[in-house]
């Protein structure tokens, strides 16, 4: 029940909302609190675990060295590094809540940084490898 000329709209007994409610395509009002399906929750959980594992594997591999241990701990490393990068970028003036690509930038920096760190450490390890039997060490 809208009162003409008033910015308030009655949505329930004793509850009024200022302004018009956003409507979905087709003129049907969208319910923001609609329950999710069990399959949707399962897929979202797997996608989140995959993102955390992808962002954290490089960091876990550079810290632990062992591939199996790194794979097991990569979601924890991913959660930590995503949080740290998000806080750092927010302090630099790029909050995640903006309409820009803040989330994509945080994911790219967090995940990419881990893989770069892992590759640098692998390259250093190969450069400092011990000589094989019969080889003369560089003098």
pLDDT band at 24 (very low <50, low <70, confident <90, very high): very low
| Burial letters 66-96, b for 16+ CB under 10 A, else e | eeeebeebbbebbbbbbeebbeebeeeeeee
| pLDDT over threshold 90, residue 45 | yes
pLDDT band at 62 (very low <50, low <70, confident <90, very high): confident
Whose CA is closest to 79, among 97, 56, 100, 61?
A: 56
Q: Distance (Å, rounded) from C-alpha 53 to C-alpha 60?
A: 9
Q: 109 or 26: whose pLDDT is higher?
A: 109
Q: Distance (Å, rounded) from C-alpha 103 to C-alpha 23?
A: 26
Identify any residues that bridge with 16 across adjacent strands, giving them in sequence order: 10
In this prediction, residue 25 carries a pLDDT of 46
Per-residue pLDDT tens over the stretch 81-138: 888 888 887 888 777 776 666 677 777 787 777 777 777 777 766 666 666 666 665 5
List phi, psi (to 5°) of 75: -65, -35
| pLDDT over threshold 70, residue 80 | yes
* Structural tokens at position 22: 């956003």
* Structural tokens at position 91: 């302090």
The Cα-based distances of 32 to 21, 26, 29, 36, 128 in angstroms read: 11, 16, 9, 11, 58
Domains of the chain, residue spans: 39-127
Sign of CA dihedral 20, 25, 26, 31: negative
| pLDDT over threshold 70, residue 48 | yes
Q: Is the Cβ–Cβ distance between 138 and 128 less than 8 Å?
A: no
- Mean pLDDT across 39-52: 92
Window from 23-37, 60-74, 76-90 with minimum mean pLDDT: 23-37
């Amino acid at each position: 029940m809208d009162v003409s000329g008033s910015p308030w709209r009655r949505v329930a007994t004793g509850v009024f909302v200022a302004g018009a409610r956003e409507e979905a395509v087709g003129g049907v009002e969208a319910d923001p609190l609609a329950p999710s399906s069990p399959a949707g929750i399962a897929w979202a959980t797997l996608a989140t675990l995959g993102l955390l594992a992808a962002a954290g594997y490089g960091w876990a591999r550079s810290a632990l060295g062992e591939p199996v241990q790194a794979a097991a701990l990569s979601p924890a490393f991913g959660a930590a590094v995503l949080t740290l990068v998000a806080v750092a970028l927010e302090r630099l003036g790029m909050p995640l809540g903006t309409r820009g690509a803040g989330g994509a930038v945080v994911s790219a920096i967090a995940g990419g940084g881990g893989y770069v760190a892992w590759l640098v450490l692998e390259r250093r390890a190969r450069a400092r490898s011990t000589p094989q039997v019969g080889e003369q060490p560089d003098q």
